[in-house]
Chain A
Amino acid sequence: MSSPAITSETLPAGPAATPLDDMDSLIATYEQRIFRFHLVSIRDHDLALTLTQDTFTRAWAARASFRGDCAIFTWLMRIALNLIRDHTRTDRFRFWKKVSETAVDVSDVSEHIPHRESSPEAALIAREQLALVWDSVARLSTRQRNVFMLRFVEELELAEIAQIAQLPISTVKTHLYRALATLRAEHNGARRGEHAKESL
């Protein structure tokens, strides 16, 4: 069963004119970024596609409630974040452990490590570094992970993250400190292992 693409034509007509009425350009501008956030957050390709479409469908349905007190992207990301929260809250969803044909593995992502002018050894180290971050992120709580993604993948400012997550900046910082503590612990453990190998 195939359904039509989300465009302003396929979406039901709504009441008043808002900045979100031009859904086609909105999708063209933000779809890829929203998809990236979903994909990296939930690590499932099909689910990321579905949630990306849900994000725009919800945005269209709720466009009358957009007051313009934040950027459109911030508003869309807030919807995206809520969708992820709703989805990960369900019992059926076994976060990060879900066995799915479309689940994203670190080996899929490590193929995309940028090719620097480096030796095979350096490439191997880069893969290990990526795997380390990948595994560390998997161990974070949902809140920590969301905030971590917004900061280190989407490269958003703390104030924007606070708006999206609807949290005080201090709380956002706390989540980031904890997330980075997990990452540092993994990192330092790996480095100690490397030093031990070198000394042998």
Chain B
Amino acid sequence: MRLNKIQKKFKDTMLDPEALDNDFSAVFAAGKIPAEDRMKIYRNNVIKSLNNAIIVVYPLTEKLVGEGFLKTAVEQYIVANLPDQGNLNFYGATFADFIETYEPAKKLPYLPDMARLEWAWELATLADDDEPLDPHALQEIPEDKLPDLRLPLRASVNLLESSYPLDKIVDFCRLKNPEGTLNIDTGDAQMMIFRPVLQAQMRKISPGEFIFLRALKNGNSLMNAAEWATEADGTFDLAPMLQKHLELGTFKAFGEKNESNITKN
């Protein structure tokens, strides 16, 4: 049997050791311990390491549904979605989508967004290092150039919008001994998840702020971003908003040529 076929069959059999066929078992040396049992060691190793890699990303989701529930869901996810890369850092990106279709989780409609929030936290934690924009950098830009300015966000900035009050659910999960019940019909939430230096953070932002930052993240001009934010949210005020995010370090430092961030219409 050629190596290519051996590796394909090994992969399939490992996921389902009972399905070891005669053709394939002839490839292996006979021993006292049957090949099925030996395959189970590999299956356990693989499932365990993938399971650990995903579960560690979802501590709050785990708190909401319990360890056993999450483990079972993750195992089903793994078998249908094997990793496609040789590093596990970004494995599990589609787990929230899986949760959305996962029957036992249907009675918890906020769960997929909680998983998305924790995934965004993971992305922020692992994002490439980059430098924040110097808060004084905008002062050097001529006023007539400001409307066309592009302000890219740092690599770690992730934005998430949900119909559920994710911030309140997070606070509830983080209580040592949560008591009572939390009303989840108290409105939507816009969240910003990012990593200023080493530790990721999440914060609730206003609806206008969300539209503003999303527009900048997508490469739109400062003027367009501010206009869209104001249209959607009457409370949006550009100057303090810029100041806030310059201080937070939301924007990415300009490249070597400042001009590259200004494009002519």
**Same assembly:** no
Residues of A within 8 A of B (CB): none
